[in-house]
């Protein structure tokens, strides 16, 4: 059986020893290092996960099969707090009935067949080039800036070059991460990923990687906090690794581009939060199937502004 034919049911029914052997075979065939195979729990569900590493990028195995994606707004039963929040927003902005709005802002319910794949645990910012701590530009910034442990240093011009240099320090004052931030086009980002043997997730793949088959509005259920926006809550189900152990859909400001440039997932650029449109509308942007066609079109227009271009890298197992 090809690794790409591995289904969730088959993966979970393997013994621990057999699962580890399959994971080792995947690592050997696809130029990745196996990190661990373990069981993981999220939002009341339990799933075996296999984690891999390629050049410092962590990946998780996402088995495939016939999967349910999208959402039917008519299924949504809001809590009293969600209903009240939406009613207030609808009155202010002239929005339709709640079920109709949820339907309009999520992809349609459907069943698709997807192959197994390796999906990056964290999104990759194509605008950020990781630099080693001994890079001359990093060392120059450390010499000229006010170095305080636990802070982030920055310098426009990239320490003599283009872009913006950002250096994060740990509690001991050592370099935790150094990045050169430069603007890049979507096409340029795709080319950069391809040089690493990676590609961005498709919209279908992104939804499946995020929800892991959950039939609810959010990957953790249908409920959402009524006392703030996602950005305000630094802990909670949205901040925890999902069922595949992915850090995904955690902050509406951190929207991710897909293989279809006008379809972004996992957020709305913070528009609902920044605009104070209401807590439910702010949380809706983290719905697994959330789609904001207008925001996607704007990002790809001449008016769109991009200083962070997040992609969810995928490694094919075919």
Res 50: pLDDT: 98
Q: CA-CA distance, 87 to 79, in Å (whole number)?
A: 12
Mark out the alpha helices in the chain (DSSP H runs): 8-13, 16-29, 80-93, 98-104, 136-144, 186-195, 203-211, 271-274, 279-284, 293-299
User: What are the pLDDT digits (tens) for 187-197?
Assistant: 988 998 898 88
Between 150 and 67, the higher pLDDT residue: 67
Query: E strand or H helix at 305, and its extent?
Result: none
Res 158: pLDDT: 58
User: What are the pLDDT digits (tens) for 299-309?
Assistant: 988 876 667 79
User: What are the pLDDT digits (tens) for 163-175?
Assistant: 788 898 998 888 9
Q: Which of 280, 296, 295 is nearest to 98 (CA)?
A: 280
Question: How large is the average pLDDT for residues 63-78?
Answer: 97
Asked if residue 189 lies in contact with residue 257, where contact means CB atoms within 8 angstroms, the answer is yes
Question: What residue segments make up the domains of the chain, in order of their start?
Answer: 3-125+186-316, 128-181
Q: CA-CA distance, 210 to 146, in Å (whole number)?
A: 40
> Backbone phi, then psi, for 311, in 5-degree steps?
-125, 145
Q: CA-CA distance, 205 to 107, in Å (whole number)?
A: 13
Distances from the Cα of 134 to the Cαs of 158, 160, 164, 266, 302, in angstroms? 14, 16, 17, 35, 38
Asked if residue 200 lies in contact with residue 261, where contact means CB atoms within 8 angstroms, the answer is no
**pLDDT over 70 at 86, yes or no:** yes
Residues in the chain: 318
**pLDDT over 80 at 274, yes or no:** yes
User: What are the pLDDT digits (tens) for 124-182?
Assistant: 988 887 888 899 989 989 988 888 888 888 887 655 556 788 898 998 888 988 888 88
Question: How large is the average pLDDT for residues 59-80?
Answer: 97
Question: Which CATH number does 3-125+186-316 carry?
Answer: 3.90.1580
**pLDDT over 80 at 283, yes or no:** yes
End-to-end CA distance of the chain: 11
Between 12 and 55, the higher pLDDT residue: 12
**Could you give the 3-state DSSP secondary structure of residue 4?**
helix
Token representation of residue 303: 């008016």
pTM, full prediction: 0.88
Question: How large is the average pLDDT for residues 111-127?
Answer: 95
Question: How large is the average pLDDT for residues 98-111?
Answer: 98
Question: How large is the average pLDDT for residues 278-283?
Answer: 97
Question: How large is the average pLDDT for residues 71-95?
Answer: 97
Q: CA-CA distance, 268 to 254, in Å (whole number)?
A: 8
Q: CA-CA distance, 215 to 308, in Å (whole number)?
A: 31
Cβ atoms within 10 Å of 120's Cβ, excluding its own: 23
Alpha-carbon torsion angle 66, 71, 75, 78, nearest 10? 130
Could you give the strand order of the β-sheet that contains 264-265, starting from the edge strand earlier in sequence? 124-125, 310-311, 256-257, 264-265
Res 128: pLDDT: 80
> Backbone phi, then psi, for 279, in 5-degree steps?
-65, -40
**Nearest 5 degrees, angle CA 260-CA 274-CA 306?**
40
> Backbone phi, then psi, for 265, in 5-degree steps?
-130, 160
Mean pLDDT of the chain: 93
User: What are the pLDDT digits (tens) for 235-268?
Assistant: 999 999 999 999 999 999 999 999 999 999 999 9
**pLDDT over 90 at 184, yes or no:** no
Q: How confident is the model at residue 211 (pLDDT cuts 50, 70, 90)?
A: very high
Q: Which of 39, 66, 36 is nearest to 53 (CA)?
A: 36
Token representation of residue 191: 């080319």
Res 164: pLDDT: 83
Res 78: pLDDT: 98
């Amino acid at each position: 059986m090809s690794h790409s034919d591995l289904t969730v049911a088959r993966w979970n029914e393997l013994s621990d020893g057999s699962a580890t052997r399959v994971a080792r075979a995947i690592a050997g065939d696809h130029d990745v290092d196996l990190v661990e195979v373990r069981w993981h729990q999220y939002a009341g569900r339990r799933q075996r996960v296999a984690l891999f590493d390629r050049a410092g990028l962590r990946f998780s195995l996402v088995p495939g099969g016939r999967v349910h994606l999208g959402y039917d707004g008519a299924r949504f039963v809001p809590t009293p707090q969600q209903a009240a929040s939406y009613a207030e927003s609808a009155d202010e902005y002239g929005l339709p009935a709640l079920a109709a709005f949820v339907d309009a802002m999520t992809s349609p319910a459907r069943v698709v067949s997807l192959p197994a794949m390796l999906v990056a645990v964290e999104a990759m910012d194509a605008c950020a080039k990781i630099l080693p701590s001994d890079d001359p530009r990093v060392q120059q910034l450390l010499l000229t800036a006010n170095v305080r442990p636990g802070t982030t240093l920055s310098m426009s011009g990239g320490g003599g070059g283009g872009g913006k240099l950002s250096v994060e320090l740990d509690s001991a004052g050592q370099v935790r991460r150094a990045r050169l931030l430069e603007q890049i086009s979507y096409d340029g980002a795709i080319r950069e990923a391809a040089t690493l043997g990676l590609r961005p997730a498709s919209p279908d793949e992104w939804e499946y990687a995020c929800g892991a088959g959950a039939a609810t509005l959010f990957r953790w259920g249908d409920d959402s906090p009524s006392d703030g926006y996602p950005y305000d809550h630094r802990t909670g189900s949205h901040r925890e690794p999902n069922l595949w152990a992915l850090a995904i859909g955690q902050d509406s400001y951190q929207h991710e581009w897909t293989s279809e440039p006008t379809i972004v997932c996992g957020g709305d650029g913070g528009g609902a939060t920044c605009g104070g449109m209401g807590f439910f509308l702010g949380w809706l942007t983290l719905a697994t199937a959330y789609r904001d066609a207008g925001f996607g079109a704007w990002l790809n227009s001449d008016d769109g502004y991009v200083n962070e271009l997040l992609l969810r890298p995928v490694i094919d197992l075919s």
